[in-house]
Amino acid sequence: MIQVDIIPVSSDMNEIKERIQKYLSRCGVCSRREGEGLVLAGRVSVNGTIVTEPGFKVGADDIVTLDGGIVREIAEHVYLAYYKPRGVVTTLKDQSGRPDLSSLLGKLGRRVFPVGRLDLDSEGLLILTDDGDLFNRLVHPRSHVEKEYLVTVTPNLNSDELRRFADGVPIMDSTYVTRECSIMPLSQPSPSGMTRYRVVLREGKKRQIREMFHYFGSKVVVLKRVRIGSLTLNELKPGEYRYLNPGEIEKLLQGTVYVPKTDF
């Protein structure tokens, strides 16, 4: 029988820099919380020896394995533009069994996270990445990254309502007033009363556009995001994705606020 030693946390390992669960997260294996569970379950080894303390630290020369497979650091970050279809939940795994991003992750073969969200009934551009710096900079409120939507509603807004919509309206049970935005009609009302608008926001509250139109008694029928900052949906079709090039990433980050890195 092979004897397996259990390593306790050692106080004399000051030269080792990173907690084991943080290392696993940075390598794209799991979140930090999930990493703690893997360690406590005895599934993680360092240099051939099982580690059961989440506080255990590892360094550049250590070999970390999960279930016998070597965990390697990610050499480069991944940046994707993804057309989220309507009816897909913007989460890595939905507890209710609804369609989510798990099938996409299976194609990629690595763990990425959505930057912001689109609700279940919305569609369009979603950025996916494993880069915590980019994530923080794009979602930081002071970055004011523009997000453009094509929205079909019924009934249409009159000229006074359009002005008030752009100036800001109360949402979230009147606990928040939206920032100034732009709204432009793209069509005349149809016989059924439907009108298409272009809406550009510089913030992103939960179900914000739907609540803003609801304030005026209008219902959103179709909501499609076509742009985030300088990045557009272009020719992507529902369910398709493409990798961003360095130039696109650089443009995307222009004017954003730098904040400390997020460890997913």
Taking only the tens place, the pLDDT of each residue in 244-256 is 999 999 899 888 8
Statement: residue 10 has pLDDT above 70:
no
Read off the pLDDT of residues 125-159 as tens digits, 9 standing for 90 and up: 999 999 888 888 899 888 999 999 999 999 999 99
Burial pattern 173-211, b for ≥16 Cβ within 10 A else e, equals eeeeebeebebeeeeeeeeeebbbbebebebeeebbbbb
Whether 263 sits among the annotated catalytic residues: the reply is no
Neighbours of 113 (CB within 10 A): 19
Residue percentage of the chain with pLDDT more than 90:
62
Give backbone dihedrals phi and psi of 77, rounded to 5 degrees, phi first: -75, 160
Domain spans of the chain, in order of start: 6-70, 79-142+237-253, 146-228
Q: What span, in angstroms and rounded, lies between the C-alpha atoms of 132 and 109?
A: 19
User: Which of residues 149 and 117 earns the better pLDDT score?
Assistant: 149
**Fold for domain 6-70?**
3.10.290
79-142+237-253 and 146-228 agree in CATH topology = yes
Q: Is 35 helix (H, G, I), strand (E, B) or coil?
A: helix
Given 62, 94, 100, 119, the catalytic residue? 119
Class of domain 79-142+237-253: alpha beta
- Per CATH, the number for 146-228 is 3.30.70.1560
How many degrees, rounded to 5, is the angle at CA 112 between CA 107 and CA 117?
Answer: 110
- CA distances 214 to 14, 209, 221, Å, are 57, 8, 12
pTM (predicted TM-score): 0.72
- CA distances 66 to 45, 85, 136, 138, 235, Å, are 7, 34, 29, 32, 39
